[in-house]
Amino acid sequence: MPTQSITPDASGYFGEYGGKFIPEILYTTFDELIAAFYKAKADPEFWQSYVDVMQNYSCRPTPITPLENFAKSLGGKFQIFCKREDLNHTGAHKANNCMGQGLLVQRMGKKRVIAETGAGQHGVATATMAARMGLECTVYMGSVDVERQRPNVFWMEQLGATVISVTEGAATLKDAINAAMRDWAESMETTHYVLGTTCGPHPFPEMVAWFQSIIGQESREQMLKKNGRLPDRIYACVGGGSNASGIFLPFLDDKAVELIGVEAGGRGLESGEHAARFYGGTVGVAQGYKTYFFQDDEGQMLHTHSIAAGLDYIGVSPILSHLHDQKRIRFTAATDDAVISATKQLIRTEGIIPALESGHAFAAVIEEAPSIPDGTQVLINLSGRGDKDIFNIAEAIGDKKWQEFLKAKAMSQ
């Protein structure tokens, strides 16, 4: 069973970030959730049941794949490895958190789950968990994301979930979170809110990071076994921060390991159209927690932009904000264009199709390659697979044959 090297104080704060800013109507529900979570966390059998489920249902431990061709294509004398979270059931690290919370829901005896989703990966993972565990499921998704991620909407519905398209605000992930919170404020007796990332009110950041830390624990053991030493650097993309927290946190005490979080640089940091909270953000309180938000000087949230729906979010994990301030994690950003190009490069050199979210981590490695010292071992978290992005990637690449195919399909309906 893992011990978390970073835990919040009794009020749910990591340094000055986190907390629990919730409407009073949900106070008791949060108390119950906190109690259930800490009981599970202290119970080695619970963690073992989680590991068992992930082994039998979701291909854990996921492998570490050396990327020799990709490294060679960058011209450096360093080694690159990637952690294959794309091989999880449903295609992303999101399954870890969902199955973990699903087990907790069973313990709490609730019959219904709700979730927000951006890219749709968390929605699909929640719907999958609900189908497997026999729970009723409603997923809130911004209408803009519904447009971008129709295949995921299709699968959620096939899995028996009700998908509600949220048209309020910017109609993206943040608005889906608000909508899920509103549902929960009414349904809490029968319903658990499966928050998809290391954000939101306490205990969600700690809880989601705990389930996701399985990524880093496995990686640590696997890298030691494979190479006899720890990696020098680890890169992970950062939206809400769950895949990054998952791979980073078990390495926190390994001071020699540099941790690099890659935010969505969108159309460029100077364009203002991005989602790099550590570049354009300031500290605020929204969606139940205190962290860096993309907001104006009067605390109104601003529109974010990223080619990757899963990174297109105003806030960031309070755990990562704390580690940012402590300078334990270095943050950088990758633009949409750099991500498309990195994605193509990984597909061609290694036969691996990354999600556009994960493509950000690869883009950062490509950008930093000229300054990576010889002999360095780099580990990248490949947080999800890119099949779901076929429409966006094909559009960005401008593939003519695909466009003709879509036209023909549409005509034949």
Partner 1 sequence: MNLTKYLKNRLDPLYGETEHPETKRKILLMTHVVVGYPSLEANWKMLEAMGEADVDLVELQMPFSEPSADGPLFVKANQEALRNGIRWKDYFDLMQRTSSKFDFPVLMMGYFNTTFAMGYENYCANIRKNGGEGFIIPDLPLEEYGDLWLHSQNQKLDSIMLCTPTNTEERLRKICARGSGFIYCVARKGVTGKNTDLGQSAENFLQQCRQYTDLPLALGFGLSEPDDLRKLHGKADIAIVGSALLKTWEAEGENGYRKHLMSLAAARE
Smallest distance from the beta carbon of 185 to partner 1, in angstroms? 6
Torsion of CA 95, 210, 138, 45, to 10 degrees: 80
> In the chain, what are the helix, strand and coil shares in percent, each to the nearest 5?
50, 20, 30
Give the H/E segment covering residue 133: helix 121-133
**379 closest CA partner among 367, 365, 368:** 365
Nearer to partner 1, 47 or 293 (CB): 293
Binding residues for partner 1 restricted to 8-27, rule: CB under 8 A: 11, 19-27
Please indicate whether residue 383 is annotated as part of the active site.
yes
Q: Please give the full DSSP string across 354-388, using - where no structure is assigned.
A: B-HHHHHHHHHHHHHGGGSPTT-EEEEEE-BBSGG
Of 85, 116, 206, 350, the catalytic one is 116
CB 22, min distance to partner 1, A: 6
- Indicate the residue among 82 and 173 with the shorter CB distance to partner 1: 173
The CB-of-315 to partner 1 minimum distance in angstroms stands at 10
From residue 219, give the alpha-carbon distance in Å to each of 65, 153, 198, 227, 250.
Answer: 11, 31, 19, 12, 9
CB of 190: closest distance to partner 1 in angstroms?
11
283 vs 406, beta carbon nearer partner 1: 283
Least distance (Å) from partner 1 to the CB of residue 182?
Answer: 5
Residue recorded with tokens 């449903």: 90
**Identity of the residue, 25 or 397, whose beta carbon is nearer to partner 1 in the bound complex:** 25
**Is residue 357 annotated as part of the catalytic site, yes or no?**
no
- Considering the rule CB under 8 A, would residue 295 count as an interface residue with partner 1? yes
Mask for 174-193, x = binds partner 1 (CB under 8 A): x--xx--xx--xxxx-----
Q: Contacting partner 1 (CB under 8 A), which of 5, 7, 28, 48?
A: 28
- The amino acid sitting at 362 is F
Of 82 and 194, CB closest to partner 1: 194
Rounded Cα distance between 51 and 58, Å, is: 10
Per annotation, catalytic residue among 94, 110, 174, 388: 94
288 touching partner 1, by CB under 8 A: yes
Residue 169, interface with partner 1 (CB under 8 A)? Answer: yes
Give the strand pairing for 258-266 and 329-335. Answer: parallel
Q: 287, 291, 335, 345: which one contacts partner 1 (CB under 8 A)?
A: 287
CB 193 within 8 A of CB 115: yes
Q: Which residues neighbour 71 within 8 Å (Cβ) at sequence distance 6 or greater?
A: 78, 79, 80, 378
Whether 368 is catalytic: no
The site for partner 1, by CB under 8 A, has a size of 36
Which of 8, 17, 18, 29 binds partner 1 (CB under 8 A)? It is 29
Ramachandran region of residue 138, left (φ > 0), alpha (ψ -120 to 50) or beta? beta
Cβ of residue 282: shortest distance to partner 1, in angstroms?
8
Q: Give 236's strand partners.
A: 261
Enzyme catalytic residues: 94, 116, 383
Residues lying near partner 1 in the complex (CB under 8 A) are found at 11, 19-29, 168-169, 174, 177-178, 181-182, 185-188, 284-288, 290, 293, 295, 297-301
